[in-house]
Structure 1
Amino acid sequence: MAHDHDHTDAATGLPPITDDDLDRDPLTPARRPLWVRLLGLFATMVVFVIALELMGDGIKAIGRGSFDLEGFLRTATDSPLLGLITGILVTSLVQSSSTTTSLVVTLVATGTLPVPSAIPVIMGANIGTTVTNTIVSMGHITRPDEFKRAIAGATVHDFFNWMSVLILLPLELLFGVISRPALALAEAIPGVDSGGLGDTPFDQLAGWLFESVLGENGWVTAAVGLTLLFIALRYLVVFLKSLVLGRSEGALDRYVFGNPLVAMGFGMVLTFMVQSSSVTTSLVIPLIGAGVLTVRKVFPYMLGANVGTTATGMFAAAIAISSGEPEAVAGLEIALCHTLFNVFGIVLIYPLPFVREVPIRMAEFVGELAFKNRLYAVAYVAGLFYVLPVILEFIF
C-alpha cells in the first residue's frame, strides 16, 4: 500500500484517504453502501445539532434566576463601547445571537432601549455568536493536524466580524451609515403581521429532553450536550472522510463551495431555515478539520450565515408590529440595522482581495499557534469571549 501515499491530495495537501484508513473504524467501513454512510451522516448531524441546542439550553438554565439578561442589557449600554462588550459577553454566555438580538429588538420595540444604544449590542452579538463554532473546533484538540485546520476555520468568522465592527461602528457613530437607511426602510414598510417560523423540530426535541428527561437541570443538560457534541463530532469526521473517497468531495467543491456566491447563498438559506448561525457554521468545522474544505472555501459560507441569522430579529420585530407596540417601528429599525450591518460588512471587506485576506491570514496564524501549543487556543477562547469582556464590564 506504500504507493497510496506517494502523492498528496491537491485540495488538502494531505495524503489521500484510503479504504484501510476508514476500515479501522468499525462503524463506517469504506466498503459499506453509500446509502448506509449517508444515513449515518444524517443521524450524526441530527445528534450534533441537538447537542448544540442542549448545550445552549443548559447554559441559559444555569444563568436563569442569578443572571437577569433583560435588566443587564438595559443597564450595560451606557456607551457604545460598553454596549459592544455587553453584546459579546451576553451572546458568548447564552451561545445564541438570536436570543440576544430578539431580546434587543423587543426592548427597542417597547421603548425600553433606544436605537443608538442597541446598535453596538447587535454588533457585539455578531462577534459573540462565533464562540460556538470555536468551541466545536476544540473537539479536534487531540489530533494536532485536524485541530490546526479546524481552529483556523472557526476563527476566520471571528476576525471578519471584528473587522466589520472596527470599520462600521465608527462610521455609524459619526454618520449613521446603518441607522439612517434602516430607519428609511422601516418607515417605508407598511406593516408586517407574520409571527415567524416558530421552533424547529430540533428545538422542540431538545426542549422535550431538557424538560422531561433531564429535569430542567442546567448543569446536567450542559454536560449531556457537551458529551453528545464531542461524540457526534468524532463520527461526523469519520462519515465525511468515508464519503470523500469517491466523487463526493468533487461534487461538494463544484456545486456548493466552488463558487463563493453559491457558498454564500447556501450559508444564508441554511441559516434562515434553522434560525441559528451557530449551528450552520459549526456544521462545517468537521469538514475543515477533516481536510475536505479549506478556510478560503468556507469563508463566504460563513458570511452568508451572518446574513441568514438576522431573520430571527426580523421575526421578533414582526411580532412587535402585529401586537401593536407603540415603538414597533423602532424595533423593525434595529432588526434592519442588524441585516444592513452584515450586508455592509460583506460589501466592504469581501470584494477587495487584499482586505479579504486579512481575516483569513489571522485565522491561519491562530491555527499555527494552536498547532504549536494547544493552550493558545484555549486562552484565545476564554480570553476573547469571557475574561476580557468581564474585565472591561467592571472597568467601564
Structure 2
Amino acid sequence: MAVDFVLENCKIARPDGILEASIAINNGRIQKIALSDAMPKADNAIDMSEKIVLPGAIDPHVHFRDPGFTEKEDFETGSLSALFGGVTTILDMPNTKPFTGTSEEFEKKKTLAEKKSYIDFSLYFGAMDGNIWEMRKVNPIGYKFYLDHPDIVGYSGLKAAASSLENKIFAVHAEDPDIMHDNLKKNSAADPKSHGKIRTAEAEMESVKAILNIEMGSNNLYFCHLSTPSSVKAVHEAGHFAELATPHLFLSRENSAELGNFARTNPSLKSEEDRLGLWKVLSLVSTLATDHAPHLISEKESASPPSGMPGVETFLPLMIDSVNKGFLDWTDVARLCSAGASNIFGLVNKGIIEEGKDADLVIIDRKKVWEIKASKLHSKCAWTPFEGRKLKGKIDSVFRGGKLAIDKGKLLAKPGQGKYIAPER
C-alpha cells in the first residue's frame, strides 16, 4: 500500500547532525527514514535535492491576543503568520482579556483556538496571587508568572505555587518591580529613550537571583526572554531553562534611534555588546522564541506606546539567514527552534525528524535571497521591526501533520486544522 508522501534525497537537520536520507510520510506521521531504494511506494514523491529539511519550528512564547485584543491579532491570523514562517506549533501566553487565570477561561480559550488555528498549539495558565486552587484544576503547558507586575503576582506567589504544585513548568518574566519603580522615579515612562533606563540589566539580574533563591521542589523554572549573557549564564549554572527571544538576538539599543517606539519591548533591548554576547552563549540556551507581541501601528505611534513587536513569521527566516552567515549551524537551529522546546514542555511527538513523530517539516531553499516586507507578511498588525532586511535562505514548503500546508508560497491549509496539545511529562 502506498504512503502519502516520500521526500527523496533530503538533507535532514537534527540536533546531532545532518542525515542524508529520504522520508516516508503516512497518516500524519513520519513512517520511515532510509535511503531512497528502501522507501515504500508513494502517492506523491518529491525530490528534495539541494534542500534542507528542518523540523517544524516550535515557538514557545507567543501572544496571539485572543480573546480581548483581536484588533491586533487573533488565533487565525497569528497561526497563519506562524505557518508561513515555518512554525508548526506555538505556546500561547495568558495575558488576554479576560486573563487566562481560571479553569473556565482556560477551557474557553482552548475551544476558541481549536476553531481558528492553522497549527498545533498549547496554552499557558496565568499565575495570580491567591489562585492556587484554580492552578490545580488545569494541566497547562506551563504557568506564567509576570513578576514584573506585582499587582498580578509577586515572588511570594511564586513561592506559594512551588510549595503547592509538583512537576510543573513555571515560566517567569524576570524583572524586579522595585528596581523598575525606583528607576521610573528618575525617568519618564513616555520618553522612548528612557524605557531601557527603567527596565535595566540590573532589574533582570536581581530578579533572576531572587527567583533562583526560591525552593522549587520538583517544579522546573523556565526563564522567558532573557536579554543579557550574564542572566543566561546564571540560569544555566543553576540548572534551569533559559529562553532567548529573537528581538534581543537581532536588535539592540542602537536600533532604537531608527525604530523609535517600534523597538519598545519588555525586557528592553540592551547594548550592542549584550546582543553580540548572546550569540556567544547560545550553547547555554535551552530554546529560542519570538515573544510575538503585536500592536497596531497607531498604538505604537501614540503618546503611550505599548511594549512588544511581532516576530513569529520572521523567526525561522532570520535563523536560516544566520546559518548562511556562519553564526550557527543547521544542527543548532534544529535544537534551538524545535527540539529544545519539545523536550522542555513534553511535546513528545514534536521537535525532531524521527520515525513515529508528527510529520511537521519545513523545506528550505538555502540559496534564495529575498527581502522582508510587512506587506508580504500575515500578522494583523501590518508591520515588522525587520522591514527591508535582505536574507539568504527561504522557506519553500511546509508540512504540518503530514499534509502539505504551504507549497512554494501557496496556502493549502485551512483554519481549524490545528490541534490542542496536552503536555506529557
TM-score normalised by L of structure 1:
0.30
More strand by share: 2
More helix by share: 1
TM-score normalised by L of structure 2:
0.28
